Amino acid sequence: MQWDIFCKVIDNYGDLGVSWRLSRELAARCQRVRLWVDDASALQWMAPLGCAGVEVRAWTQPLALQGVAAGEVLVEAFGCEIAPEFIAINAYKQRAGGNKVAWINLEYLSAELYVERSHGLSSPVLRGPGTGLTKHFFYPGFTPRTGGLLREPHLLQRQAGFDRTEWLRQHGIEWRPKEQLVSLFCYEPGALHQLLDQFAHQPAPTRLLVTPGRASDAVQSAMEKKNRLQPLWNKRGMLSISYLPALDQIDFDHLLWSCDLNFVRGEDSLVRALWAGRPLVWQIYPQHDDAHHGKLEALLDAIQAPASLRRFHRTWNGVDQSPLEPLALPAWGEAIQAARAQLLQQRDLVSQLLEFVDSVRT
């Protein structure tokens, strides 16, 4: 089938990251994909080789539709509101007796209870350019009554064959055998300075692998302030920091597989960190009305996080101002491994989405 996926970039790493993984996985299952995006610049490093079967098109205003025929599936990623002129040509195709169009609103990932109630609901379009079409809501999630999570069929085989030492060497990362590796992909957590202190005072050395952008800026700012106010804070040299270049999606997975602890943010990297099976800490995108607090608690419930991991998350996300909980990687790792094993029993998102679209169109 021909899929048209629309994505408006709010966070280059999030919305576009999920949309690209979805497009790539659909193409791997013999689907044809047009990814319409208003800012595709991040794909230059996120997916520099592109993907056979995926055509990236600019989402302009008005949309350039010369030579573009309506397809079978419309996907609006995260409620981005598909260009009305494109909706119109799809509605015309259906009214003219063409194949029924499946219009899917792919929602944000959440572990909250409403997801099970809302997954698969339909909404007939009664006015506007899409009159006659029906929109269906598809919710990713953590339970069998949701749309599941994005996961490639051969992910576990790829992980089993991964060589951490070789990957680190290829990327010029100096790693001592007894050094703990920690990845950091974050916004600007208020507790970052506490985390750096923890690493500096642990008995074992830590190497922090910092992703570019906001995480790198936050660490450099925190380091500058610490070195100015407390020049001897890391006098034992137990914390080393490596600043990484931009990694494509495949190498981002490799980074997560290489580390003993992963700090991630947003939606796409959370899912990839779960599949990595290492202890993880998630920074949720903050919302002005604190709605993210409930989303965070729902995620912690879904993975049955131990009490220490819950307390760490609440401080890391600014839910409370308690001191940052000491790291407890063995217990955290057991919880993530158990959650991962349970999630692997569920069907992946693309398999469910293909089946759902078939049911909608028939």
As a whole number of angstroms, the distance between CA 343 and CA 348 comes to 9
Q: Which two tokens stand for residue 32?
A: 């044809």
Find out whether 2 and 72 touch, Cβ atoms under 8 Å. yes
Cα separation of 37 and 15, whole Å?
10
* Cα separation, 294 vs 284, whole angstroms: 11
Q: Please name the residue that has the structure tokens 């509101």.
A: 81
**CB 268, CB 10: distance < 8 Å:** no
Distance CA(305)–CA(300), nearest Å, equals 5
Coil, helix or strand at residue 68:
coil
Active site residue 248: no
**267 is annotated as an active-site residue:** yes
| Phi/psi at 52 (5° precision) | -60, 130
Pairing verdict, β 122-124 and 134-138: antiparallel
Q: Report which residue type is found at 315.
A: T
Pick the catalytic residue from 25, 253, 267, 325.
Answer: 267
Nearest to 346 by CA among 148, 111, 153, 155: 148
The three-state secondary structure class of 48 is: coil
State how far the Cα of 205 lies from the Cα of 240, in Å rounded to an integer.
8
How far is 114 from 111, CA to CA, in rounded Å?
A: 8
Q: Which of 15, 112, 253, 268 is catalytic?
A: 15
* Active site amino acids: 15, 267
